Amino acid sequence: MNKPNWQDIWGGVLIIAFGAFFAWYAQHTMNLGSLRRMGAGAFPLGVGIILMILGVLIVLPALRKPGPKIEFAIRTPLIILAAVCAFAFCVPRLGVVPAIFATVFISSLADRRLTPLFSFLVSISLSAAIWLLFVQGLNLPIPMFDWSW
C-alpha cells in the first residue's frame, strides 16, 4: 500500500478548518438574510462551505497517492516573520519605500539560492516600482520617505 501524501492531506485539512471557521462565524454572528435579500453573513457562509468542499477534494486523492517527504525547517518561517516585523517597524518611522526595501530584502534571504546582490537589485526595483505606481501613477498622498522620527 502506498504511503499517503501528507503534505496535501494537511493542506486540505487546514483549508477545511478555515472554511468551517468562516461558516461557523458567519452563521453565529452575522445576519444571513434570505435568498431574495441576502444579509452580510451570506457571502462568508458560502465561501466557508466552498472552502470545506475544496478541502475535501484535496484530501481524498491525497489518501491514495504517494507524496514528498515533509521537511520542517524553522529558518524560512522565522525569516518571513522578521520581514513582516521589519515592515511594521519601518513604515511609521521611515516611510513606505524603505519599508518595502527592507521587507523584500529580508524575505529574499529565506531562499538560499538567491545571492545578496540579486536580493538588493530586486529590493531596489520593487521599491522604485511602488514609488512610480503610487506617487507618480495614482497621485496618492502616501509618505514614501519619512525621516522625521
What pLDDT is attached to residue 147? Answer: 64
Q: Which residue has the higher pLDDT, 51 or 6?
A: 51
Task: Give domain limits for the chain.
Answer: 6-62, 75-137
- Tell me what the mean pLDDT of segment 113-130 comes to: 90
In this structure, of 2-16, 48-62, 77-91, 127-141, the range with the lowest mean pLDDT score is 127-141
Identity of residue 64: R
What pLDDT is attached to residue 88? Answer: 92
What pLDDT is attached to residue 149? Answer: 60
Residue listed under C-alpha cell 475544496:
54
Long-range contacts of 106-111 (CB under 8 A, 24+ apart): 106/79, 106/82, 107/79, 107/80, 107/83, 109/79, 110/75, 110/76, 110/79, 110/80, 110/83
Sign of CA dihedral 53, 54, 55, 57: positive
What pLDDT is attached to residue 148? Answer: 63
Residues of the chain with pLDDT > 70, as a percent, come to 93
pLDDT digits (tens, 9 = 90+) for 77-112: 899 999 999 999 988 888 888 899 999 999 998 888
Report the predicted TM-score, pTM, of the whole model to 2 decimal places: 0.56
On average, the pLDDT of the chain sits at 87
